[in-house]
Structure 1
Amino acid sequence: MSSHFKNASNFNIEGITNISANHYHHYGERPPKSTIEKLREHVAAGALHNSAERYDAPKCHPETRVAVQKEVVSWICDGDSDDQPKDIMWVTGPAGSGKTAIMGSVADTCQGKGILGATHFFSSFSGSANRRLKHCLVPTLAYQFVQHKAMTQVAARILSAVEDNPVVFEQNLEVQLDQLILEPLRACQDRPPLPEWPKVILIDGLDECEAEQYHDTTRSDISPRSKEEDQTEILSMLKKAASDPDFPFRIVIASRPEHAIQSFFTEVAYSVTRKLFLDEKYNPDADMKLFLESKFAIIRRRCHLPSLWPREDVRQTLISNASGQFIYVATVGRFMEGSGLR
């Protein structure tokens, strides 16, 4: 018996509309984007600590920077027991002191412990503008919460917020924080946080965040926005998050001690911030000696060199020339590995 519905792709029965799965393909149309796809469009994927873009990023040698890493991880896990608990840690030091390597290694450690909530690694050298500007920061953090298996209820609230306000990504950081992170967290406070919930958010290279302009840059009558203004806006947003009673994460921020950032932590966020300055207290010379010795051992085995290579005076000269800057020995190590010593 023939059917009036044969090959039908759209039909309505008692007010219920059904569109076949191949409807969009059949008519050459694109299906509507899912909510997670809408969020993904505003994520700086390269800023995640384990992104392909950061595959060759520096990491601490297993035996170096042990004291620093232990101090950071200990604060993340047990900082509530401090005499004066703080919600933000500022890891700072001059260029080349190993901040990014430390943050990358701490991220790996926290992920292994199941306490890593989200990361964002700014980079002024990145080919992607998303890692140099502020507009992807909050969506990138929110996206990682959506992906976290222990935060399914929060994830549903975040995706609902994206559907309710699709232009949230064009609003200021404080609005994004409220709608994509704080309100979803508050909505789940009637249920006790699971022990498996993560504990920390890591933000690296804040000083490398560049200014985002909102006007015609060819006009001479409007002063361009400075990077310090955007960096301060980020810090203000993070301080607001850390000060919210429904925000369950500690925040670790790493940057150079540039004036605007240092002023913020000294004058505005002093009461909620613990400062960790990378100086001689953490014995950088000993760390660099271990790092170089590891590189020397690899080359000796590869080139069948004697155990006393290189001479002790050469090793000491390299450490002395570094002047406490880990980037110096890291560059020497890369040069040796890429040189003719094969």
Structure 2
Amino acid sequence: MSSHFENARNVNIEGITNISANNYNLNHYSERSSETSIDKLREHIAAGALHNSAERYDAPKCHPETRVAVQDEVVSWISDGDSDDVPKEIMWVTGPAGSGKTAIMGSVGDTCQGKGILGATHFFSSFSGPANRRSKQYFVPTLAYQFVQHKAMSQVAAQILSAVEDNPAIFEQNLEVQLDQLILEPLRACRDRPPLPEWPKVILIDGLDECEADQYHDTARSDVSPRSKEDDHTEILSVLKKAASDPDFPFRIVVASRPEHAIKHFFTDVAKSLIRELFLDAKYNPDADMELFLESKFASIRRQCQLPSSWPATVGRFMEGSSGDPDELLKQVLRLPVQIHASVFSGSM
């Protein structure tokens, strides 16, 4: 019996191209499909929001001698929080502007990566980098992309890429739909394959308060109220709460932000049962941190300039024992050549 496909070559069947009728190379099609999916996903992430991105190369990090207590607190909770009397799924690191939240989160990210427990990060920023670092629309895809890249999560990665292939419009849908299709459903699909010991343990999110409002309508219309950034903050927190409450979600979440009203309300009222709050106040002894920082910097200067160990304490005594304007006295000290610095403040002159 003859066939319409007898001796056929380069048959095009439902998107499968360049396939010999005698040898359907379905693996090739699958590979091309995966490549397309990861390219689509890559187009919708905020690459600069990753803690180790080139964009954040000069971002603040904690000096090795400072913020030791708070870093230990966060990393200990990530690693061993299940043993707490009342385990919590989310830690909220908060404090006023200038309290070092971003530096702490950057350093914690480095530590967790070194320990192999870092799953994903997202560092929002309202003043540096492209606009995608201050938009909620890139948030979930950025986390999903990092799971795809994680060597220990290959099974989940395949499910995420399949979800993108099945629904390329996922990136235009709301955060809850994105969370379900790009993260929760892929994790559920692997529920019969429990997380391996080398699976990561934590997601770090910094600067939530710097996420700005996305508008979906003509803001010039008088009959529609502009969306506020608080609305977007609450939407992000809502999906984090949903994720943390899901039994198939294996990660702890650390969120750092200023204690703005909408964020504080959500954490202290809506999601109170899930939250462990860490407020950066005097409990973590910032004065001692500053002293350690200055001592370390002075020691570095002494080594570089071959100054005696009494420097700069002798400078302080000189300024205290002299009359006159302190700024001018310091200028006098700074104008001295390095060789004179060494001899004057060692007491040999």
Question: TM class, shorter-chain normalised?
Answer: 0.7 to 0.9
Residue 312 to residue 277, structure 1, CA distance change in 2 (3 Å): farther
**CA apart distance, 1:162:** 0.2
Give distance in 2, aligned partners of 1:53 and 1:117.
Answer: 19
Give distance in 2, aligned partners of 1:314 and 1:123.
Answer: 40
Mapping of residues 157-172 of structure 1, within 5 Å: 157-172=159-174
| Aligned equivalent of 2:184, options 132, 157, 182 | 182
Q: Alignment RMSD, CA only? A: 2.3
- Identity value in percent: 82
Q: Is the CA contact 1:122–1:132 (under 8 Å) kept in the aligned structure 2?
A: yes
Give distance in 1, aligned partners of 2:160 and 2:12.
Answer: 34
User: SS of 2:203's equivalent?
Assistant: strand
> Which has more radius of gyration?
2
Q: Output one character per residue of 1:112-146: Cα deviation in whole Å (capped at 9) or x when no partner.
A: 11110000000111131111111100000000000
Task: Find out whether 1:18 has 2:18 as its counterpart.
Answer: yes
Residue 157 to residue 312, structure 1, CA distance change in 2 (3 Å): farther
Q: Is the CA contact 2:12–2:19 (under 8 Å) kept in the aligned structure 1?
A: no
Corresponding residue number in structure 2 for 1:331: none
Task: Find out whether 1:250 has 2:249 as its counterpart.
Answer: no
Bigger Cα displacement from structure 2, 287-296 vs 139-148? 287-296
Corresponding residue number in structure 1 for 2:262: 260
Q: Output one character per residue of 1:205-261: Cα deviation in whole Å (capped at 9) or x when no partner.
A: 101111111112333332211111100100001000000000000000000111110
Q: Output one character per residue of 1:6-40: Cα deviation in whole Å (capped at 9) or x when no partner.
A: xxxx83399984179xxxxxxxxxx9972111000
Give distance in 2, aligned partners of 1:72 and 1:82.
Answer: 13
Output the TM-score relative to the length of structure 2.
0.80
**CA apart distance, 1:264:** 0.5
**CA apart distance, 1:312:** 7.7
User: SS of 1:136's equivalent?
Assistant: helix
Give distance in 2, aligned partners of 1:293 and 1:14.
Answer: 72
User: SS of 2:11's equivalent?
Assistant: strand
Corresponding residue number in structure 2 for 1:83: 85
Mapping of residues 108-127 of structure 1, within 5 Å: 108-127=110-129
Q: Is the CA contact 1:126–1:132 (under 8 Å) kept in the aligned structure 2?
A: no
Q: Which residue identity is paired with 1:100?
A: T
Give distance in 2, aligned partners of 1:94 and 1:144.
Answer: 30
Give distance in 1, aligned partners of 2:58 and 2:314.
Answer: 30
Residue 71 to residue 216, structure 1, CA distance change in 2 (3 Å): same
Residue 169 to residue 313, structure 1, CA distance change in 2 (3 Å): farther
Corresponding residue number in structure 2 for 1:69: 71
Q: Which residue identity is paired with 1:172?
A: N
Task: Find out whether 1:203 has 2:202 as its counterpart.
Answer: no
Q: Is the CA contact 2:48–2:129 (under 8 Å) kept in the aligned structure 1?
A: no
Mapping of residues 191-340 of structure 1, within 5 Å: 191-311=193-313
**CA apart distance, 1:306:** 4.6
Q: Which residue identity is paired with 2:99?
A: S
Residue 304 to residue 158, structure 1, CA distance change in 2 (3 Å): same
Q: Which residue identity is paired with 2:158?
A: A
Residue 122 to residue 312, structure 1, CA distance change in 2 (3 Å): farther
Corresponding residue number in structure 2 for 1:151: 153
User: SS of 1:94's equivalent?
Assistant: coil
Give distance in 2, aligned partners of 1:242 and 1:312.
Answer: 55
Give distance in 2, aligned partners of 1:128 and 1:196.
Answer: 33
Q: Which residue identity is paired with 1:82?
A: D
User: SS of 2:104's equivalent?
Assistant: helix
Give distance in 2, aligned partners of 1:12 and 1:149.
Answer: 36
Q: Is the CA contact 1:206–1:231 (under 8 Å) kept in the aligned structure 2?
A: yes
Residue 314 to residue 45, structure 1, CA distance change in 2 (3 Å): farther
Corresponding residue number in structure 2 for 1:322: none
> For this pair of structures, how many residues does the alignment match?
297
| Aligned equivalent of 1:37, options 21, 36, 39 | 39
**CA apart distance, 1:284:** 0.6
**CA apart distance, 1:57:** 0.8
**CA apart distance, 1:104:** 0.7
Bigger Cα displacement from structure 2, 283-292 vs 149-158? 283-292
Give distance in 2, aligned partners of 1:99 and 1:182.
Answer: 28
Give distance in 1, aligned partners of 2:19 and 2:57.
Answer: 43
Structure 1 regions of 5+ residues with no counterpart?
A: 1-9, 21-30, 316-340
Output the TM-score relative to the length of structure 1.
0.82
Corresponding residue number in structure 1 for 2:97: 95
Give distance in 1, aligned partners of 2:218 and 2:316.
Answer: 55
User: SS of 1:237's equivalent?
Assistant: helix
Q: Is the CA contact 2:11–2:19 (under 8 Å) kept in the aligned structure 1?
A: no
Residue 262 to residue 196, structure 1, CA distance change in 2 (3 Å): same
